[in-house]
Amino acid sequence: MAGTSIILGAPIQIGASQPGCIMGPQSLRTAGFVQALTELGWTVTDQGDLSIPPRAPIAHPNKAIHDLAEASAWVELLTERAYAAARDSDLPIFMGGDHLMSAGTIPGVSRRAAELGRPLFVLWLDAHPDLHTLDTTASGNLHGTPMAYACGLADFAPYPPNAHPIDPRNVCMMGIRSVDPAEAARIKETGIEVNDMRAIDETGVMAPLKAFLARVRAAEGILHVSFDVDFLDPSFAPAVGTTVPGGATFREAHLIMETLGDSGLVASLDLVELNPFLDEKGRTAKVLRDFTASLFGRRVLDRMTRSF
């Protein structure tokens, strides 16, 4: 399965209320992220961390919104760089930073999918659907908006126009367990597939995942995976500012990533909301490293037993 992967860091923390995500990409590198993938035979090019210059503030009728000018700049930059990474490698990885990042990465890889004449599908692993618009966010934290923007569900000016919105019916959300009323209404309106934690408790992770992958394969689609740390239960992955109890277990998450790797359908990956300031001796960064290695081909028999 080994191929090429470009790694891009997007140290964004303007979309969230809890500082610390800016350190996420470097924390993953310190945890041996690149080495874990190269040991699996992948050719990895780490292009470092992106940055934006200072911006003059932009006002919005929703007074709760903050850092709107910076958010717009990040979306524009990431759309271009994600497109290039998807064009130039087999499975690029975008390391955040908060989930605002996906408002750039998804349109970028969607542009590449359109160029190839194939539909883009998104597996959204998150406690939250992030379906707020600029008008409906009460917190003003723009990491709650990327999926609405990626699907073209509202006017997001001054964000750049989204030239390649994805079909909401091509989205599968798993692990959802915190939804605001405006987001619930948007889920109902769009028909986005949502597998909340109750559904996972009832059916397990494999039934909805296999059904979604079958749809991707039947459509000859390209799959983007967006992995938020709060998809996981905070008992073993505490380094996130939006902890919601009752998340995916360690083994459920590994199974999902292993199954995605087996499918051969994944063409790009987001890793977001890692906040090392809230971690315990790098514990969550190491978990994300190992989950990513599972997606990239590592299996149980490849793991050596360690004595402590």
Catalytic positions, please?
A: 99, 126, 128, 130, 143, 228, 230, 273
Geometric angle at alpha carbon 149, from 187 and 45, rounded to 5°: 120
Give the 3-state secondary structure of residue 10: strand
Which neighbouring-strand residues pair with 9? 49, 95
Cβ neighbours, 10 Å, residue 109: 30
Transcribe 264-286 into DSSP letters: T-EEEEEEE---GGG-STTHHHH
Which neighbouring-strand residues pair with 195? 174
Token pair, residue 279, equals 């971690």
Rg of the chain on CA atoms, in Å: 18
Q: Where are the alpha helices (DSSP H) in the chain?
A: 24-30, 33-38, 68-88, 102-115, 146-150, 181-190, 197-203, 206-218, 250-263, 283-295
Contact 152, 252 (CB under 8 A): no
Measured distance CA(153)–CA(130) in Å, rounded: 12
H helix count then E strand count, the chain: 10, 8
Q: In what order do the strands lie in the sheet with 93-96?
A: 43-49, 4-10, 93-96, 266-272, 222-228, 120-125, 171-176, 193-196
Contact 247, 177 (CB under 8 A): yes
